[in-house]
Structure 1
Amino acid sequence: MADQTESSVVIDSQPGDVLGVIADFERYPEWTGAVKEVEVLDRLPDGRAAKVRFILDAGAVRDTYSLDYTWDVEDDGTGELSWKLDQSGVMKAMDGSYRLTPTPAGTQVTYCLAIDLRIPMLGMLRRKAEKTIIDTALQELKKHVES
């Protein structure tokens, strides 16, 4: 899974505040369209999520999956939160990350994603689906943080 799709957005907020929203997995169903339920299955000693289960309903795509998280972030919220697929009914693999960088206008959030489905899919269609997922997630995040 070498090919990743990537996109960025600048959010008018400090990195720590943006990371706080990203890290509050249990509240995703309140502000994301496709995530219907979230459960943190395991936590690190500092309280951050280590493994999270999601129930996704994006119309034609429905899945229950869990992700393992790696936190490489500073106290101010800058850095990278990355994940790898643990279990899924639809996906064979999913690697992704949020990278938070301070800017004069707030925080640049860069979202990288690579998905490998259990069903065959042309690379260009997979990248288009990844791009749609990323752009939707970034816009929902921006709208929620800035509201």
Structure 2
Amino acid sequence: MADESTQSIVVDAPPERIMAVIADFPAYPEWAQAFTKAEVLAADADGRAEQVAFTLESGPFKDSYTLAYQWSADGLTVAWSLVKGQMQRSQTGRYALAPDGDRTTVTYTLSVQLAVPMIGLFRRKAEKMIMDTALKELKRRVERG
């Protein structure tokens, strides 16, 4: 089992607005710089994505992969796991939202295991950079409306 990395950020918005941005996968290439494509492959009866195919390009790292999503009934958590990927052996993650008045703390947890070996220190550093970028881009997108 790969180690998890966790990072949080405070967003000046209610959880519903944040989760709406997280759930709008086709819009990811507009605001999440590493994604060139995000396509919903399957959705549940409420229209929430159950499987999403992503194409990612970040510097020399390129990957196409599919994630399966599970949405909490209270709308405060979404978790995912890798269905298939080219460069990844496994990926699990989650966004957990904790409302606090007009603000929300967003906690992002991620664990990635690549198909090619990578020294743990470098992998953790890469995960931290990915999470830091993702949280800052999410905050910017949500707060701009």
Q: TM-score range by the shorter chain?
A: over 0.9
Distance change (3 Å), C-alpha of 1:104 and 1:73: same
5+ long unaligned stretches in structure 1: none
Secondary structure in 1 aligned to 2:134? helix
C-alpha offsets along residues 96-132 of structure 1, whole Å, 9 cap, x if unaligned? 0000110135111000000000111111111111100
User: What TM-score do you get using the length of structure 2 for normalisation?
Assistant: 0.96
Query: After the TM superposition, which of the residue ranges 10-19 and 97-106 deviates more from structure 2?
Result: 97-106
Segments of 4+ moved more than 3 angstroms: none
Cα distance in 2 for partners of 1:69, 1:47 equals 12
Q: Which of 60, 81, 84 is matched with 1:84 structurally?
A: 81
Secondary structure in 2 aligned to 1:128? helix
Secondary structure in 2 aligned to 1:13? coil
Cα distance in 2 for partners of 1:134, 1:73 equals 24
| Count of aligned residue pairs for this structure pair | 144
Cα distance in 2 for partners of 1:31, 1:73 equals 27
Tell me whether 1:104 sits opposite 2:101 in the alignment.
yes
Residue 131 of structure 1 corresponds to 128
Cα distance in 2 for partners of 1:52, 1:42 equals 7
Percent of aligned pairs with the same amino acid: 45
CA contact (8 A) 1:64 1:88 kept: yes
Secondary structure in 2 aligned to 1:120? coil
Question: Which amino acid in 2 is paired with 1:113?
Answer: L
Residue 15 of structure 1 corresponds to 15
Cα distance in 1 for partners of 2:129, 2:57 equals 15
Cα distance in 2 for partners of 1:67, 1:116 equals 14
CA contact (8 A) 1:43 1:49 kept: yes
Question: Which amino acid in 2 is paired with 1:146?
Answer: E
Distance change (3 Å), C-alpha of 1:90 and 1:22: same
Tell me whether 1:116 sits opposite 2:102 in the alignment.
no
5+ long unaligned stretches in structure 2: none
Secondary structure in 1 aligned to 2:89? strand
Cα distance in 2 for partners of 1:12, 1:70 equals 25
After superposition, the CA RMSD in angstroms is 1.0
Question: Which amino acid in 1 is paired with 2:81?
Answer: K
